[in-house]
């Protein structure tokens, strides 16, 4: 079989997002542009006779941390070794870096054979938007009002490498709302809610305390139509994050396994109430 793997062009990245939607992953409406901004060379496509048959992302952050996602082979082409070719190409691109991924728990054994170790599990929590009982806080401001360098420094406490280009795109994408909690000028929490193929997702949601997380969650929910589906991808070791989701009537609809090659990067997981995106970490 004449299968080739090459780097996607920018205009091809939406194809990977469409495939993700067909898999039921419910991507955001504007994920493609934000993902490409993170690492323009980080998206690979497999072709047979010039026809696209699979994809994977192998996004590198600052050349020292990589993340595997969007690992999809079109259903009609599965079982023919295309997935392995994509996997090998992705891992080759990230050679020498610590690499992470969010995979289905059933595939953990396969990822272990590839050198990955389980760090924790995530749960996608699902609910509906409703009125915010806490009301608005004067400490909550629009994310675009926060100094961008300050936001990038805060992000480094929960992400192992700089991702400034991605953050700039993510925090200003269309059909989204970004909010932050400022306490005497200090950034102590922030979050983004974006429109997806179905409903909205909150992510990331980062906060120094459960109270700040709850206030930001409520304020982000106020930006949504009442009764709209809302999702939050929660790291399960953060029991306060699980409690926040459950207190807002959310329930788990599926899990993922966060895995890394050695050594796993440090992360202040106790401040992470919502993962940014399973596709890019």
| Residues 58-67 pLDDT 10s | 999 999 999 9
Distance set, CA 118 to CA 44, 263, 272 (Å):
25, 11, 18
Rounded CA separation 173/97 (Å): 29
Beta carbons of 202 and 214 less than 8 angstroms apart: no
Q: Fill in the DSSP letter of residue 10.
A: G
The overall pTM is greater than 0.75: yes
At 110-153, the pLDDT tens digits run: 999 999 999 999 999 999 998 777 767 889 999 999 999 999 99
Domains of the chain, CATH where assigned:
3-123 (3.40.630.30), 124-254+265-274 (3.40.630.90)
pLDDT at 5: 98
At 166-221, the pLDDT tens digits run: 999 999 999 999 999 999 999 999 999 999 999 999 999 999 999 999 999 999 99
Strand partners, 125: 232, 252
At 39-98, the pLDDT tens digits run: 999 999 999 999 999 999 999 999 999 999 999 999 999 999 999 999 999 999 999 999
């Amino acid at each position: 079989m004449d299968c080739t793997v090459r780097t996607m062009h920018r205009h091809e990245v939406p194809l990977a997002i469409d495939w993700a939607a067909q898999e039921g992953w419910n991507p955001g409406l504007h994920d493609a542009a934000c993902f490409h901004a993170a690492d323009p060379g980080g998206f690979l496509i497999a072709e047979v006779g010039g026809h696209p048959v699979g994809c994977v992302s192998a996004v590198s952050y600052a050349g020292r941390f990589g993340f595997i996602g969007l690992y999809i082979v079109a259903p009609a082409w599965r079982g023919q070794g295309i997935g392995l070719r994509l996997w090998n190409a992705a891992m080759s691109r990230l050679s020498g870096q610590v690499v992470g991924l969010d995979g289905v728990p059933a595939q953990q054994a396969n990822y272990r054979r590839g050198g990955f170790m389980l760090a924790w599990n995530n749960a996608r929590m699902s609910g509906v938007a409703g009125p915010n009982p806490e009301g608005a806080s004067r400490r909550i401001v629009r994310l675009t009002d926060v100094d961008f360098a300050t936001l990038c420094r805060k992000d480094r406490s929960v992400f192992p490498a700089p991702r400034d280009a991605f953050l700039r795109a993510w925090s200003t994408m269309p059909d989204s709302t970004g909010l932050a909690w400022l306490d005497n000028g200090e950034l102590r929490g922030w979050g983004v809610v974006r429109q997806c193929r179905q409903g909205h997702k909150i992510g990331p949601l980062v906060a120094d305390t459960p109270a700040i997380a709850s206030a930001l969650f409520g304020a982000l929910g106020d930006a949504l139509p009442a009764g709209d589906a809302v999702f939050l991808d929660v790291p399960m070791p953060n029991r306060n994050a699980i409690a926040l989701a459950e207190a807002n009537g959310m329930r788990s609809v599926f899990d993922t396994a966060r895995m890394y090659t050695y050594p796993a990067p440090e992360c202040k997981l106790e401040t992470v109430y919502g993962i940014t995106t399973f596709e890019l970490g």
